[in-house]
């Protein structure tokens, strides 16, 4: 299967999508297992799973999840680091008509509680170490009834009124004679939690067909063939690892090579060991690899392509020249998948690229008019097929409607096009931050800051880092009589939020700059930067990681 690269806002050609089996995730896995049952589908360290074995295990997991108390249409949380059981739980839930809820392994406290409670997770698949974080919650979310442990170490503390079973018990629990529920392409397959740029994180509901079309278009743009081996060490609770590598490989009949986590010093050795032909990267991965000492083995590997977020020329060109890997850039959002690719053989450096064949994108001015080439405006999107964008925010129809205007989905990003139809990014309209490939809600960071004794006002903004993304700068205002305590505030943040959200820089001020209606003038804080702020990293402090 060698896809043809599609370009532009043209006719999607509905017949081009006839290779998606029955339009469901489980159906695609079954189709690939029938085509080549003995071919490796998944490689993890020294273990290997063929497509035939993967398909059989997915069915066992599907039956086990249903027997564990998850009814069709209910949610299954997956709270795991990268390991094969994550993929099996995700695919098994899909085949059973259940809805996967990927949970960031950095979550704890109120973040973990909200992820489970807001999505109504019925069954949680996790390991013993992460279950300890669940036991730390004041109360277990009421919908959660069963926990499935993928490792054999039973934790000392198990939340009351909860059934705990092992992974092997789950695999053996289902009735092999029972029929699995019917699943349709429009049915929900996952609820992905957004960064919550204007409030608490929202649950983005994916239909099955959205995941498949996103995977197909990634394979088309990467010109992926069935004999390739695709590597990711990005966390599976992100769409970048699930869709852009895993489902992309399954669509192409290729092999997924799964790494535990990113290590710049061991990265190329892992690719050599597993004969990897392409991989993906987010944010600071490319600069971190470039920062490693040069080696005479820098081109001693089989990788030829990497799918990455848009990279500046000062990173793009040195990376390609040093490592001999072609960078394919893409743009997308959680709600709409990747909709722009800077195409192989027709790349424009600095551009987001061209729309995929299922996507219609335009630049609109403030009045909703289509902007001329070179004119700045908001990037807006419309799908050219049904069920290939999110079906809504979980239990939040008002927020869903707020993103639509004149039948266009508004990205909140500013950009422009050139005469050839290539899109270019200018800036975000909202106060979202991005750090180490993670989207961060300034609102959620500020909520934690305001919980610290003596702080009456707080703002979190991004400030440039040496790796090309944002570091988080916390600017806080104290009540009279309170003294600044940088280390105490850092410790509070480290206890209360995921490691990637913890601010690196802190500044105490007499008064935050505000508009006449009381909104913080964040642009002033960003313009001032972090030069005179207290730097936790310089003080020898780093956020605590749990996985």
Question: What digits encode the pLDDT tens for the residues 155-170?
Answer: 667 777 788 999 999 9
Is 169 contained in some domain? Answer: yes
Q: pLDDT tens digits, residue range 123-155? A: 999 999 999 999 899 998 999 999 999 997 666
Is 73 contained in some domain? Answer: yes
Give 215-255 as a 3 state SS string. Answer: HHHHHHHHCCCCCCEEEECCCCCCHHHHHHHHHHHHHHCCE
Residues of the chain above pLDDT 90, percent: 78
Is 362 contained in some domain? Answer: no
| Token duo for residue 331 | 């743009």
User: What's the rounded mean pLDDT across residues 281-287?
Assistant: 86
User: What's the rounded mean pLDDT across residues 6-21?
Assistant: 61
The parent domain of residue 79 ranges over 54-183
Q: Is the pLDDT of residue 275 over 80?
A: yes
Picking from 137, 165, 183, the residue at the C-terminal end of a domain is 183
Q: How confident is the prediction for the chain on average, in pLDDT?
A: 92
Is 205 contained in some domain? Answer: no
Neighbouring-strand partners of residue 359 = 383
Picking from 125, 152, 183, the residue at the C-terminal end of a domain is 183
User: What's the rounded mean pLDDT across residues 449-468?
Assistant: 88
Is 72 contained in some domain? Answer: yes
User: What's the rounded mean pLDDT across residues 239-267?
Assistant: 97
Closest to 436 measured CA to CA, from 207, 160, 169, 106 = 106
Residues of the chain above pLDDT 70, percent: 93
pTM of the full structure: 0.85
pLDDT of residue 456: 85
Is 382 contained in some domain? Answer: no
In total, how many domains does the chain have? 2
Is 546 contained in some domain? Answer: no
Is 60 contained in some domain? Answer: yes
Picking from 124, 148, 183, the residue at the C-terminal end of a domain is 183
Domain harbouring 523, CATH code = 3.30.300.30
- Compute the distance between CA of residue 248 and CA of residue 245 in angstroms, rounded to an integer: 5
Domain harbouring 83, CATH code = 3.40.50.980
Q: Is the dihedral of CA 96, 98, 99, 105 positive or negative?
A: negative
User: What's the rounded mean pLDDT across residues 306-334?
Assistant: 94
Q: Which residue has the higher pLDDT, 464 or 258?
A: 258
How sure is the predictor about 7, in pLDDT bands with cuts at 50, 70 and 90?
very low
Q: Is the pLDDT of residue 197 over 60?
A: no
């Amino acid at each position: 299967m060698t896809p043809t690269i599609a370009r532009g806002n043209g006719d999607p050609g509905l017949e081009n999508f006839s290779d998606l089996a029955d339009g469901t995730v489980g159906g695609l896995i079954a189709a690939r297992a029938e085509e080549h049952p003995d071919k490796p589908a998944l490689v993890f360290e020294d273990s290997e799973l063929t497509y035939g074995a993967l398909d059989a295990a997915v069915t066992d997991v599907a039956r086990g999840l249903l027997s564990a108390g998850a009814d069709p249409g209910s949610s299954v949380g997956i709270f795991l680091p990268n390991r094969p059981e994550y993929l099996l739980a995700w695919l098994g839930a899909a085949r059973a008509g259940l809805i996967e809820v990927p949970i960031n392994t950095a979550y704890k406290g109120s973040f973990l509680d909200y992820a489970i409670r807001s999505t109504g997770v019925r069954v949680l698949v996790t390991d013993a170490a992460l279950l300890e974080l669940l036991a730390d919650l004041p109360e277990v979310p009421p919908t959660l009834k069963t926990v499935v442990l993928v490792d054999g170490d039973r934790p000392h503390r198990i939340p009351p009124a909860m059934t705990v079973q092992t992974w092997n018990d789950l695999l053996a629990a289902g009735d092999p004679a029972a029929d699995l529920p019917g699943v349709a392409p429009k049915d929900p397959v996952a609820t992905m939690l957004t960064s919550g740029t204007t409030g608490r994180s929202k649950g983005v509901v994916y239909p099955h067909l959205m995941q498949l079309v996103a995977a197909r278009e990634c394979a088309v743009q990467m010109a992926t063939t069935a004999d390739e081996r695709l590597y990711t060490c990005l966390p599976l609770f992100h769409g970048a690892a699930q869709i852009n590598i895993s489902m992309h490989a399954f669509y192409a009949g290729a092999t997924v090579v799964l790494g535990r986590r990113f290590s710049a010093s061991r990265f190329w050795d892992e690719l050599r060991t597993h004969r990897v032909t392409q991989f993906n990267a987010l944010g600071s991965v490319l600069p971190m690899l470039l920062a490693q000492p040069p080696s005479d083995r820098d081109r001693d590997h089989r990788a030829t392509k990497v799918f990455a977020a848009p990279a500046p020329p000062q990173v793009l060109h040195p990376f390609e020249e040093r490592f001999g890997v072609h960078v394919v850039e893409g743009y997308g959002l959680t709600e709409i998948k990747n909709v722009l690719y800077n195409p192989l053989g027709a790349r424009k450096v600095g551009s987001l690229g061209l729309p995929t064949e299922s996507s219609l994108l335009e630049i609109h001015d403030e009045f909703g008019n289509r902007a001329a080439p070179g004119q700045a405006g908001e990037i807006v999107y419309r799908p050219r097929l049904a069920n290939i964008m999110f079906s809504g925010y979980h239990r939040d129809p008002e927020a869903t409607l707020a993103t639509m205007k004149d039948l266009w989905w508004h990205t909140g990003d500013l950009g422009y096009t050139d005469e050839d139809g290539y899109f270019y990014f200018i800036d975000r309209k909202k106060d979202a931050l991005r750090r180490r490939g993670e989207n961060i809600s300034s609102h959620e960071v500020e909520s934690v800051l305001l919980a610290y004794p003596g702080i009456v006002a707080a703002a979190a903004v991004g400030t440039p880092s040496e790796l090309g993304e944002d570091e988080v700068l916390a600017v806080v205002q104290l009540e009279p009589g309170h003294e600044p305590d940088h280390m105490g505030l850092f410790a509070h943040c480290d206890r209360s939020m995921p490691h990637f959200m913890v601010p690196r820089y802190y500044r105490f001020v007499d008064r935050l700059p505000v508009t006449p209606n009381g909104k913080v003038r964040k642009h002033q804080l960003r313009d001032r930067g972090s030069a005179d702020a207290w730097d936790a990293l310089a003080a020898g402090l780093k956020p605590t990681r749990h996985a």
